[in-house]
Amino acid sequence: MKLHYLLLDVFTGTPLKGNQLAVVTKADGLLDGEMQAIAREFNLSETVFMLKPHGERNTAAIRIFTPHEELPFAGHPTIGTAVVLGLNKKVTAVRIEEQIGLVTALFEKIDKRSGEARFGLPKLPSRVASMRDMASIAEALGIEADDIGFGEYQPAVFTAGVPYHLVPVRNANVLKRININTAIWNEVFDHEHHSAYVFTQTPDEPNNDLAARMFGMGVGEDPGTGSAAAALIGLLSEQAALATGQTEFVLRQGHEMGRPCRIIVQFRKDQGQLVHGTIGGTAVVVGEGELDLGD
């Protein structure tokens, strides 16, 4: 069995930056265990398996695996898949079937191996729980309790398909000096996947509005996490001053890892209610190859 795959860097237009992604382009016929084993072989934060869609109007179906488990939805795999489909099929919009539901993405070509995609969230974020034990959160992150929070933002758990513990911190210096405490991590961040998305405002940085780091999901630190940014839309929309209208934030992630990512976060409210959210970014194809799995 031979399987073609592409390697991409996502949330960047620069090769060897951003978040890495493998896309197996024709995965029909693979068993669940085979997909999981291949994802473990690539050992990237996520691997996409592209399948024929069930719906005639849809462009493709995908399944998303970390080295440890399957996810119903993830942001950088969705952006990467949309760019692959846009480049290969020469279209400006794609409809992708994911386990969470149908995702529609708009695509704009940059050059023969890169493009920009933006997709509407298949599930709007919702608040799961508040987090009030600041001392334990601080201990788990290796910071001080008074480093947590800025403005009206306080820690909370949100999900837009995958739950994240969202932790606002005082400034980018606090974000940079996080030193995670694995001994108590799972006890403090006890929801599914044990993942924390730590973020702050960046008023002194001209190219972005927010900065974030993501820890957990069995991958240590992740350089660019679209599903976490999607969850963050829920918390951002709660604090947005507008009752009706659209807001956009540029978020940086991965800088502390040497894999800088640029994520576009956009949402719209109507009469105080969140009604739409999108995640956008660039992706570039950096390689391709063939898996040879024998007979």
Q: What is the pLDDT of residues 208-239, one digit of tens each?
A: 999 999 998 777 899 999 999 999 999 999 98
Q: State the Cα–Cα distance between residues 163 and 216, nearest whole angstrom.
A: 11
Q: State the Cα–Cα distance between residues 136 and 159, nearest whole angstrom.
A: 22
Q: Cβ(271)–Cβ(111) under 8 Å?
A: no
How would you class 2 by CB atoms within 10 Å of its CB: exposed for 0-12, middle for 13-18, buried for 19 or more?
exposed
Catalytic residue, from 34, 41, 46, 98: name it: 46
Q: At what angle do helices 226-239 and 75-89 cross, to 10 degrees?
A: 110
Q: State the Cα–Cα distance between residues 241 and 258, nearest whole angstrom.
A: 34
Write phi, then psi, for 180 (nearest 5 degrees): -70, 145
Q: In this structure, how many other beta carbons lie within 10 angstroms of the beta carbon of residue 278? A: 19
Please give the C-alpha separations between residue 68 and each of 29, 32, 41, 42, 65, in angstroms, as whole numbers: 21, 12, 11, 12, 7
Q: State the Cα–Cα distance between residues 121 and 115, nearest whole angstrom.
A: 19
Q: State the Cα–Cα distance between residues 196 and 185, nearest whole angstrom.
A: 9
Q: State the Cα–Cα distance between residues 83 and 134, nearest whole angstrom.
A: 40
Question: 70 an active-site residue?
Answer: no
Q: What DSSP element (H or E) covers 179?
A: none
Give 22's strand partners. Answer: 7, 47
Domain annotation for the chain: domains and CATH numbers: 2-119+282-292 (3.10.310.10), 126-281 (3.10.310.10)
Residue 258 pLDDT > 90: yes
Rounded to an integer, the average pLDDT of 108-113 is: 98
pLDDT digits (tens, 9 = 90+) for 155-189: 999 999 999 999 999 999 999 999 999 999 999 99
Instruction: Give 136's pLDDT tier (boundaries 50, 70, 90).
Output: very high
